[in-house]
Amino acid sequence: MQGRRIFMAAALAVACVPAWALEGNADAAKSKISMCIGCHGIPGYRTAFPVVYHVPKLGGQHPAYIVQALMAYKSGDRSHPSMQAIAASLSEQDMADLAAYYGGEK
């Protein structure tokens, strides 16, 4: 019985690991970045939706910041229609992978 409790506790702990604590895989992100590079991959890019603003550079950002921003868009705590839609489609592992990819860029 004790072994089963330990297994269940370990399984629950793994299921509750926040995205910022997951190990990101920059190589896995290469198949996921197409949704990002249209705006974040253009130096000096400005968008006109919903208002005109400069699109932030992702390369070189701290991975934990990227994950926290994506999680805030997904939860609705950060407001931007395009980013909320994109973040809603991402798993926590996707977020960790994207953060590892962009966090390693300069």
Q: What is the mean pLDDT of each run of 10 residues along the chain (106 residues)?
A: 48 49 90 92 79 86 95 96 95 97 86
Question: What is the domain range of residue 80?
Answer: 2-103
**Listed residue (78, 87, 37, 72) closest to 58, CA to CA:** 37
- Paired tokens of 11: 């399984």
Number of domains in the chain: 1
Q: Residue 47's beta-bridge partner residues?
A: 53
What gap in Å lies between CA 20 and CA 98, rounded to an integer?
11
- Residue 66: CATH number of its domain: 1.10.760.10
Q: Is the peptide bond before 18 cis (omega within 30 degrees of 0)?
A: no
Nearest to 103 by CA among 29, 19, 17: 29
* Predicted TM-score of the model (pTM): 0.75
